[in-house]
Structure 1
Amino acid sequence: MKTQIRTAALVFLALSVGYYVWHGLTSDDFLPWVGWQMSLPIIACTVVPIAFAFTGDGILSALTGTNSSEFRDGLLGLGTVESFAHTGVSLNDQPQVRIEFRVEGVDGKTFPSHAKTIVPLTELALLRPGVVLPVRYLPGRTDRVEIDLSGDPAAAQEAMNAAMVRKGLVTPAKLDIARRGVPAQAVVRALSVPGEIREGHPRLDLELVVTRPDGTTFAARTEKYLPPDKVSQVQIGRLVRVHYLPENEQELVISLPVNSGGQ
């Protein structure tokens, strides 16, 4: 759509200027260059920059609430925010920012990229280095991505799960427990760090007291790999959300939001 809008604006400009020049050179009027025809290139010169501005990276998506046609069917990757900066452009007083990403593609390979997007002021504080966002990218053109606006959290979670399995941070069996297990709350009763590290994530051995839906409790042990800055999420005494199998209550997983340590 961006290309069509910009092309239409440029065609309008060319036709407007062309007609104005043709009229001035061929008309028998006393003042051939003065008249209603003057308005055409003036209007066109106003429309063109507006068309280019409103079809800039992130602007059209902010207006439509969807990804551009170019990226709508792109591959879904995981973009980790490395930095961001204001571009100086705003839409309805909402700033446009350029976000620098380290993107992990569907094949597990990572690459640097960036996206420009409109961020509501109320959400700007949530944008910080380390935050993981689903992004759409084009193979062979990875210098630019778009934040995924498909509104499909299941697809984003599947991409996160696949990435964590590749890194050895979780197993398919644990993901199955997270999908079909009984949700419950638990309290961290003990925590130990055996020293094993995978992909910069230390292994944490946890002892939990889980509360069943009927109010009774049971003790269980599990392990989880977390980035160092997320260890505070599972400190002793913290409440965490878990999923467990009723037929084997020792088989459980801790469920944390994507940007609080992953699944």
Structure 2
Amino acid sequence: MKTTTVLTPARHRRPSATPAGAAIGVGTVAGIPGPPREGAAIIDVETVTGERFRGELTTSTCHGAALDLKPGVVVAVRFHPDRPTDLTLADDMIAARAAFDHRLIRKGITTAAKIDLVRRGNRSQAVVTAMRATCHLIEDHREITVDLMVARTDGGQFAARETAFIPAASLASVAPGSVIAVYYRTADESAIAITVAKA
């Protein structure tokens, strides 16, 4: 999981760009049709409640962004419940991030506490001193246990152990000796969260 969005305090937030009645979902590009549908992207969508359906993005609805889409890419999409197969890219980033987070929590890949730690904790780096992959899998995520030496943001370091799900393709990035991003709170170093980018 890689979550770097910083939420703006409520008094400074701009009004939501999501139209009334529209919903946000997490989409995975399933394919790019050729002519005469060139410029369209077929998207497999999962809503925050777990409903799945297939829709379509076109260059006319995402301002050319479909040109950068390829199978396997994950995007936040917006749709109207009455026309779920007509998709646009989500332009409300707060709602889009919430949709991604809710999906990860519902699947058991992370927890609300871990997401809150990434959003509000101190961001630092840690050296992996040991890593063990368990037999637990959730979709394309593998559970690991890592021992870390975490650098404090105000100097010094502390040892920590964390169990987390990461993309299975990213196991090499948590091999002993690797440096990864870590989040913690100064007042409680017993809880940490790690983020590993999908390879």
TM-score by length of 1: 0.60
Query: Partner residue of 2:14?
Result: none
2:74 and 2:188 map into 1 onto residues whose CA distance is 33
Q: Write out aligned runs for 1:40-189 (5 A).
A: 72-73=19-20, 74-85=22-33, 97-117=39-59, 118-119=63-64, 124=68, 127-148=69-90, 150=91, 152-189=92-129
CA RMSD in angstroms comes to 2.6
Identical amino acids, percent of aligned pairs: 31
List runs of 5+ in structure 1 lacking aligned partners.
Answer: 1-68, 90-95
1:178 offset after TM fit, Å? 1.6
Deviation at 1:86, TM superposition (A): 5.4
Higher strand share: 2
TM-score by length of 2: 0.77
Structure-1 separation of matches of 2:136 and 2:50: 22
- Specify the alignment match of 2:3 in structure 1: none
Shift, 1:99, TM fit: 1.1
The 3-state SS of whatever aligns with 2:135 is coil
Point out the structure with max Rg over C-alpha. 1
Q: Which runs of 5+ in 2 are unaligned?
A: 1-16
Question: How far has the Cα of 1:160 moved from its partner?
Answer: 0.9
Give SS of 1:194's match.
strand
Structure of higher RCO (CA pairs closer than 8 Å, 6+ residues apart): 2
* 8 Å CA contact retained: 2:166, 2:196: no
Retained in 1: the 8 A contact 2:170–2:196? no
Judge conservation of contact 1:87–1:98 (CA < 8 Å) in 2.
Answer: no
Deviation, structure 1 residue 80: 1.1
How many residues were matched structurally? 179
User: Given residue 25 of structure 2, which amino acid in structure 1 is its aligned partner?
Assistant: G
